[in-house]
Structure 1
Amino acid sequence: MVTTHPRKKAFFALLLLVSAASLGITMALYIAPGSLGQRIFSLCKVWLLALPLVWFIWVDHGKFRLSLPKKNELLVGTLLGLLMFGIILSAYWLLGQQWIDVTDVQTKAKQAGITSPKIYLGGALYFTFINALIEEYIWRWFVYKKCEVLVSGTKAVFLAAMLFTLHHIIALAAYTADWGVVLLGSLGVFIAGAVWSWCYLTYRTLWSSYISHILADLAIAIVGWHLLFGSLR
């Protein structure tokens, strides 16, 4: 039975979720690439989706509240997203093209099943619109709120961002052997995670973080297209 102490419950919830995120990526990209790794990755994704909901209902005894976006949330989310969009593309054009081993990225993409522009576009649409919402639900609605139980609001922003970055580091390292790219990409993920956690701290909804997340992922999708297919046409 889960302990009733709030801080211990929050720590246990974070341990169960964050470790599963890293385990899924590690199995799929390092330990058992192929069908076994993908099955374990899929199971971990189901766990990441289910745990926050189950915990909220059965442990926290919470009640769901849906709210329509306010104008300032939409404005802030759009402005932050456009800023991220510009930074990501600028970093790629100025530094990424020189640092990233295109052949290595293309090889890893083929191993992951990305063998045509249609497959890539389908995956890009999913990650831009659906996965962005899923990540906000997991890492801001659940993880950030649990971090707030452990530390104060501002410190929780950085703790949640750090936890959000961990599995991204594992994934980035699998796709490139250049640690400069890994460090730069991880820093970008950390900053984005901090910004999105701050959005949740400020508005207590996912609207602003979700909108900016969409625009950031759109920029990443453009970079991925250029790396895999050589042009933006």
Structure 2
Amino acid sequence: MLQITLDKKALLALMLLVPAPSIGVATQLYFLPRLEGYLVALLSKVWLLLFPVIWLYFVDKSAIKIQYPKRPDLLAGVGLGLIMLFVILTVYWLLGWRWIDTEYVLERARLVGFSSFNLYLLGAGYWIFINSLLEEFVWRWFVYCQCEILVSSRLAVILSALFFTIHHIIGLAAYFDWRATALCSCGVFIAGIIWSWCYLNYRSIWIGYISHIFADIAIFLIGWQLIFV
């Protein structure tokens, strides 16, 4: 009976959390691309952060334990991050730029305010250092752990990576055609598998967070080249 209860709790947690970023991204990019869309996207981010905390305290009756990064975490994160940065830039230079309509990307960037260099830098700083930490906290800790209650550890790695990829597909489709969207989505999914696998083996989000920073740096370098060069 206890196991059934845990399964139902984990399933409920995933149902309440996983759709939130997709709703926020879709609203901002497709339905309400102005202030209203920003507010919905912001609320989805707040929900993404607060829900795991609320769930931990009121449902699991537990508390967040802060685990500071150790030297091996830092070294592994930097090493993995440099590899990811190199792979992302290489794939873009070999294939990605051929499939991207620069004028359309610039038009979409203007629509959401990213055609301003100062706003682009501000947004890049948020996504690289803050949003990446939020995503590791949510997808690699909370979502992975809920998936691990429902399925085996290895399958939880794949399932949490899939959940992590869904809202990225929605966002990418607003800027790119199906080829670039599929290529980038595969990259996000593979990165999600790698980061979830790191959590499975080290039970720490720090390797994922540090390498996530490097991956996002590569993405925003590409965005800078598309929009401003």
TM-score, normalised by the number of residues in structure 2: 0.95
- The count of aligned residue pairs is 226
Corresponding residue number in structure 1 for 2:215:
216
- Three-state SS of the structure 1 residue aligned to 2:174 is helix
How far off is 1:128 after superposition?
Answer: 0.6
Corresponding residue number in structure 2 for 1:182:
181
How do residues 61-210 of structure 1 correspond to structure 2 at under 5 angstroms? 61-176=61-176, 178-210=177-209
Q: CA–CA distance in 1 between the matches of 2:101 and 2:138? A: 32
Q: CA–CA distance in 2 between the matches of 1:38 and 1:32? A: 8
Q: CA–CA distance in 2 between the matches of 1:22 and 1:35? A: 18
Q: CA–CA distance in 2 between the matches of 1:170 and 1:30? A: 9
Corresponding residue number in structure 2 for 1:32:
32
How far off is 1:222 after superposition?
Answer: 0.5
Give, as a single letter, the amino acid of the residue that structure 2 aligns with 1:15: M
How far off is 1:70 after superposition?
Answer: 2.3
Q: Deviations over 1:169-212 (max 9, x none)?
A: 00000112x10101000000000011111111111111111010
The runs of 4+ residues in structure 1 deviating greater than 3 Å are none
CA RMSD, aligned part only? 1.1
Q: CA–CA distance in 2 between the matches of 1:47 and 1:64? A: 17
- Three-state SS of the structure 1 residue aligned to 2:107 is helix
Unaligned runs of 5+ in 2: none
Q: CA–CA distance in 2 between the matches of 1:142 and 1:200? A: 11
Q: CA–CA distance in 2 between the matches of 1:115 and 1:75? A: 35
Contact 2:53 2:64 in 1 (8 A): no
Q: For the structure 1 residues 68 and 35, does the alpha-carbon distance in structure 2 shift closer, same or farther, using more than 3 Å as the test?
A: closer
Give, as a single letter, the amino acid of the residue that structure 2 aligns with 1:195: I
Q: CA–CA distance in 2 between the matches of 1:88 and 1:12? A: 35
Corresponding residue number in structure 2 for 1:60:
60
Q: CA–CA distance in 2 between the matches of 1:23 and 1:64? A: 27
Corresponding residue number in structure 2 for 1:225:
224
Corresponding residue number in structure 2 for 1:43:
43
- Three-state SS of the structure 1 residue aligned to 2:18 is helix
Q: CA–CA distance in 1 between the matches of 2:211 and 2:60? A: 29
29-38 or 7-16: which moved more?
29-38
How far off is 1:63 after superposition?
Answer: 2.5
Confirm whether residue 10 of structure 1 aligns to residue 1 of structure 2: no
Q: CA–CA distance in 1 between the matches of 2:36 and 2:122? A: 23
61-70 or 144-153: which moved more?
61-70
- Three-state SS of the structure 1 residue aligned to 2:82 is helix
Give, as a single letter, the amino acid of the residue that structure 2 aligns with 1:227: L
Q: CA–CA distance in 2 between the matches of 1:47 and 1:116? A: 28
Q: CA–CA distance in 2 between the matches of 1:67 and 1:172? A: 33
Q: CA–CA distance in 1 between the matches of 2:66 and 2:185? A: 32
Give, as a single letter, the amino acid of the residue that structure 1 aligns with 2:129: F
Quick one: percent identity of the two aligned structures?
A: 51
35-44 or 193-202: which moved more?
35-44
Give, as a single letter, the amino acid of the residue that structure 2 aligns with 1:74: L
- Three-state SS of the structure 2 residue aligned to 1:5 is helix
How far off is 1:143 after superposition?
Answer: 0.6
- Three-state SS of the structure 2 residue aligned to 1:76 is helix
